[in-house]
Amino acid sequence: MQIITIPVTAFAQNSRIIACSETKQAVVVDPGGDPDKIVAALNEHKLELSAIWLTHGHLDHVGGADILRNQFNVQIIGPQKDEYFWFENLPMQAQMFGFKPIEPFYPDIWLNHNDTVSVGKLSFLVKHCPGHTPGHIVFYQQDYECVIVGDVIFKGSVGRTDFPKGNSEQLIESIKTHILTLPDNTKILAGHGSDTTVGFEKQTNPFVSGKFG
Ligand SMILES: [Zn+2]
């Protein structure tokens, strides 16, 4: 498995190209913007884009998705369907976040908890982790021990819950149930900031370690 991280937008959102080293097929997870940078990376590594996967509907995670879908004729897969309103409200999000105007668009396929998605010979398990947003999902790859978490958890922090339909108790519950139960050396690939691990966050993250109430 090959992972290429491309920070996009003014929010430095970690867009990830995930590729099967054997087949050279790739997906891009959360192409929030700067689609040209993503295309350049695909070309540089001679990868074939097979789909676009989304963790949630915030503009800094999805802003480049429709452009790439049209350019490569691939499907947008995920998140879970409770996220619909964030796609419907993309024009409002553009104003709210100070992005250039965007028209609403929608995924081709909504995902559910325990669904499996594949790229080349790699399979990822989908886990529904609401709280930051209601339809937020994460993608877990067991063999390579990594989980792509969007804005659920960050190194030393957790996702905001002050947006519409955010819920802080639900977020902590999602993290404790679906992220911190993974093996300690599982790598956490977050939507912003550095990568971390399940074990490190269990020990040190003040929002979930219990050390700070
Ligand atoms: Zn978000």
Cβ neighbors of 157 (< 8 A, separation 6 or more) are 193, 205, 207
The pLDDT score that the predictor gives to residue 213 is 46
Ligand 1 center–CA 9 separation, angstroms = 13
Ligand 1 center–CA 136 separation, angstroms = 9
Ligand 1 center–CA 61 separation, angstroms = 7
Candidates 131, 128, 15; CA nearest to 81 is 128
Amino acid at 12: A
Ligand 1 center–CA 119 separation, angstroms = 24
Distances (CA, A) of 138 to 34, 39, 41, 70, 113: 22, 23, 23, 24, 9
State the first-to-last Cα distance of the chain, in angstroms, to the nearest integer: 38
Please compute the mean of the pLDDT values over residues 97-102 and round it to a whole number: 91
Question: What average pLDDT is seen over the chain?
Answer: 96
pTM beyond 0.85: the answer is yes
Whether the pLDDT of residue 3 is over 60: the answer is yes
Ligand 1 center–CA 23 separation, angstroms = 31
User: Would you say 63 and 99 are in contact if contact means Cβ atoms under 8 Å apart?
Assistant: yes
The pLDDT score that the predictor gives to residue 184 is 97
Ligand 1 center–CA 132 separation, angstroms = 7
SS3 label, residue 6: strand
What residues flank ion ligand 1 with Cβ within 5 A? 58, 151
Ligand 1 center–CA 134 separation, angstroms = 11
Cβ neighbors of 142 (< 8 A, separation 6 or more) are 125
Whether the pLDDT of residue 208 is over 90: the answer is no
Kindly compute the dihedral angle of the four CA atoms of residues 96, 97, 101, 104, in this order, to the nearest 10 degrees: -80
Number of structural domains (the chain) is: 1
Encode pLDDT of 67-88 as tens digits: 999 999 999 999 999 999 999 9
Measure CA 5 to chain center: 12
The pLDDT score that the predictor gives to residue 211 is 58
Q: Is residue 170 part of a domain?
A: yes
Q: Is residue 133 part of a domain?
A: yes
Encode pLDDT of 6-59 as tens digits: 999 999 999 999 999 999 999 999 999 999 999 999 999 999 999 999 999 999
Q: Is residue 139 part of a domain?
A: yes
Ligand 1 center–CA 159 separation, angstroms = 7
CA-CA distance, 142 to 61, in Å (whole number)? Answer: 24
Mutual angle of helices 35-44 and 65-72, in 10-degree steps = 50
Ligand 1 center–CA 107 separation, angstroms = 17
Q: Is residue 127 part of a domain?
A: yes
CATH number of the domain within which 133 lies: 3.60.15.10
The pLDDT score that the predictor gives to residue 127 is 98
CA-CA distance, 22 to 167, in Å (whole number)? Answer: 41
Ligand 1 center–CA 38 separation, angstroms = 20
Q: Is residue 14 part of a domain?
A: yes
The pLDDT score that the predictor gives to residue 179 is 97
Q: Is residue 211 part of a domain?
A: no
Q: Is residue 210 part of a domain?
A: no
Ligand 1 center–CA 58 separation, angstroms = 5
The pLDDT score that the predictor gives to residue 133 is 98
Ligand 1 center–CA 31 separation, angstroms = 13
Using only C-alpha atoms, the chain has a radius of gyration, in whole angstroms, of 16
Q: Is residue 104 part of a domain?
A: yes
Give the other-Cβ count within 10 Å of 90's Cβ.
21
Ligand 1 center–CA 22 separation, angstroms = 32
The domain of 149 spans 2-204
